[in-house]
């Protein structure tokens, strides 16, 4: 079962810009990720662009790379803040 883990750690590598490195592993897998982000204000919305890739490796040798999602923050007419995630294929 993949949910059971042996150990995990995460470190904030840098504060400005925010940067994170993390590692965790289970009985039949291990996962690691480097994460930072860029942001752009486009007048009516804020675009958050994650930079980095999450890696998942199984003991069988199969390696999967996961690209992180772009996030758009928009304020609608009533003042509510809404978010939308975009998958880039």
Asked whether residue 1 carries a pLDDT value surpassing 50, the answer given is no
Distance (Å, whole) CA 40 – CA 27: 40
Instruction: Give tens-digit pLDDT for 13-57.
Output: 777 777 888 898 888 999 998 888 888 887 778 888 888 888 999
Instruction: Give tens-digit pLDDT for 59-87.
Output: 999 999 887 777 788 877 777 777 777 65
Distance (Å, whole) CA 18 – CA 11: 11
Which residues have C-beta within 8 Å of that of residue 32, sequence separation ≥ 6?
21, 22, 23, 24, 54, 55
The β-bridge relationship of strands 45-51 and 53-58 is unpaired
Asked whether residue 6 carries a pLDDT value surpassing 60, the answer given is no
């Amino acid at each position: 079962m993949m949910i059971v883990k042996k150990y995990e750690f995460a470190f904030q590598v840098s504060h400005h810009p925010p940067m994170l490195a993390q590692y965790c592993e289970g009985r039949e897998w291990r996962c690691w990720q480097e994460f930072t982000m860029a942001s752009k204000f486009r007048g009516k919305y804020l675009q958050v662009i994650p930079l980095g890739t999450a890696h998942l490796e199984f003991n069988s040798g199969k390696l999967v790379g996961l690209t992180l999602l772009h996030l758009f923050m928009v304020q609608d007419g009533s003042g509510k803040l809404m978010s939308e995630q975009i998958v880039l294929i």
